[in-house]
Amino acid sequence: MQHGATTAEVERVVAVVRELGYEARPMPGAQRTAIGIVGNDGRVDSSRIAALSGVQEIIHVTQPYKQVSREWRPESTVVTIAPGVSFGGNDIPVIAGPCSVESEEQILESARIVARAGGTALRGGAFKPRSSPYSFQGLGKEGLKLLALARAETGLPIVTEAMDDEGAHLVAEVADCIQIGARNMQNYSLLKTVGKIGKPVLLKRGMAATITDLLLSAEYILSEGNGQVILCERGVRSFDPSSRNMFDLTAIPTVHKLSHLPIVGDPSHGTGIRDKVTPMARAALAAGADGLIVEMHPHPDSARSDGAQSLYPDQFQALIGELRAVAIAIKA
């Protein structure tokens, strides 16, 4: 309550809290009166209380999410997208591949390089969200077929993005894990759809999403009955143009403390610059990431999107070696 709030104002807040079905516990202090809300199950909509006269501030003590929280489920969730490819357990899977599927030759060549170097899954966009309507938007259904071909040849499971409800069903027919991109992290219709589909989901953090926002978006998927969610830190917007995004690696131990869900790092979008990908992939792992997703292109110079942040094949191979060494070091 504000300094100087009247007894009547305090009583009105207490009455409204009770009307909402909770217990209200006033706590008068030297400067102002605080009112505790007890019996709250995490679903109180505070705006009605904030609107009352004499109220200074609403302070949330209970987290607004539930099923994603570690308090709800203490043991870590392991999400398995294909036999032997699990996130949240002892392995550190590496999802790799080009930004977009461009052609049969390109995606098959990519898949072979990923498999040969020791990557664990293949990424590649068939549907691409692009800031400009004039940028390449992906091959669509044709791209999905090519991804299936690449899996058939290499055995690598497929992670690819869905941008809308219709696309989610198409992607689900082919992909082993459906990616929800940063721009759609709060597209709640899409979250509910992939929640209902029930396949594993890779949920990327939005460009200005707090960790709480990310966990609430995951809660949308879990509340539809799909617990197979892998979170992904991919950088947020910042004031510094020296990298494309600010790669917030503290998100990794923070998510591990608050939630039982696994989280992977995306150093390609997290930095946007090829020569930063390897050091920041190592750093993500050292921070405790449950896996990585990196862009690799057989010929980055001629990539139709995100060429500047895609690793060359030999850089990718070297990266896998470095990651193994770091993984051993931090598990020792």
Q: Judged by CB under 8 A, which stretch of 48-56, 107-115, 117-125, 170-178 contacts a second copy?
A: 48-56
Cα radius of gyration rounded to whole Å, the chain: 23
With 0-12 / 13-18 / 19 or more C-beta atoms within 10 angstroms meaning exposed / middle / buried, residue 179 is: buried
Helix, coil or strand: residue 153: helix
Burial call 285-317: b when 16+ CB within 10 Å, e when fewer: bebebbbbbbbbbbebeebbbbbebbbbbebbb
* 157/227 with CB nearer a second copy: 227
Closest by CA position to 35, among listed 275, 122, 47, 50: 50
> Which of 285, 293, 296, 319: binder of a second copy (CB under 8 A)?
285
> Which of 262, 271, 298, 316: binder of a second copy (CB under 8 A)?
271
Give the total of residues touching a second copy (CB under 8 A): 116
Q: How many CB atoms lie within 10 A of CB 247?
A: 24
* Token pair for 197: 């589909």
Q: Return the half-sphere exposure (C-beta side, CA atoms, 13 A cut-off) of residue 13.
A: 28
Q: Please report how close the Cβ of residue 155 comes to a second copy at its closest, in angstroms.
A: 29
* Token pair for 303: 């990539």
Q: Please report how close the Cβ of residue 42 comes to a second copy at its closest, in angstroms.
A: 7
Q: Please report how close the Cβ of residue 230 comes to a second copy at its closest, in angstroms.
A: 19
> Which of 73, 112, 199, 274: binder of a second copy (CB under 8 A)?
274
Residue 59, phi-psi category: left (phi > 0), alpha (psi -120 to 50), beta (remainder): beta
Residue ranges in 54-113 that form contacts with a second copy under rule CB under 8 A = 57-59, 61-62, 64-66, 71
CB 295 within 8 A of CB 97: yes
* 34/152 with CB nearer a second copy: 34
Q: Judged by CB under 8 A, which stretch of 79-87, 113-121, 169-177, 281-289 contacts a second copy?
A: 281-289
Give the DSSP H/E element, type plus range, for residue 48. helix 47-50
Q: Which residue has the tokens 């494309």?
A: 244
Rounded to whole angstroms, the Cα distance separating 331 from 303 reads 36
> Which of 153, 225, 250, 314: binder of a second copy (CB under 8 A)?
250
Q: Please report how close the Cβ of residue 90 comes to a second copy at its closest, in angstroms.
A: 17
Q: Please report how close the Cβ of residue 272 comes to a second copy at its closest, in angstroms.
A: 9
Q: Please report how close the Cβ of residue 188 comes to a second copy at its closest, in angstroms.
A: 5
Question: What are residue 236's DSSP bridge partners?
Answer: 246
Report if residue 125 touches a second copy, rule: CB under 8 A.
no
| DSSP structure class, residue 173 | H
Rounded to whole angstroms, the Cα distance separating 261 from 242 reads 31
Q: Judged by CB under 8 A, which stretch of 83-91, 107-115, 170-178, 282-290 contacts a second copy?
A: 282-290
* 6/153 with CB nearer a second copy: 6
Q: Return the half-sphere exposure (C-beta side, CA atoms, 13 A cut-off) of residue 313.
A: 12
Residue ranges in 183-242 that form contacts with a second copy under rule CB under 8 A = 183-184, 186-190, 206-208, 210-213, 216-217, 219-220, 223, 236-242
Q: Please report how close the Cβ of residue 80 comes to a second copy at its closest, in angstroms.
A: 25
Q: Judged by CB under 8 A, which stretch of 82-90, 114-122, 140-148, 273-281 contacts a second copy?
A: 273-281
Q: Please report how close the Cβ of residue 159 comes to a second copy at its closest, in angstroms.
A: 20
Report if residue 153 touches a second copy, rule: CB under 8 A.
no
Report if residue 253 touches a second copy, rule: CB under 8 A.
yes
Rounded to whole angstroms, the Cα distance separating 214 from 209 reads 6
Report if residue 166 touches a second copy, rule: CB under 8 A.
yes
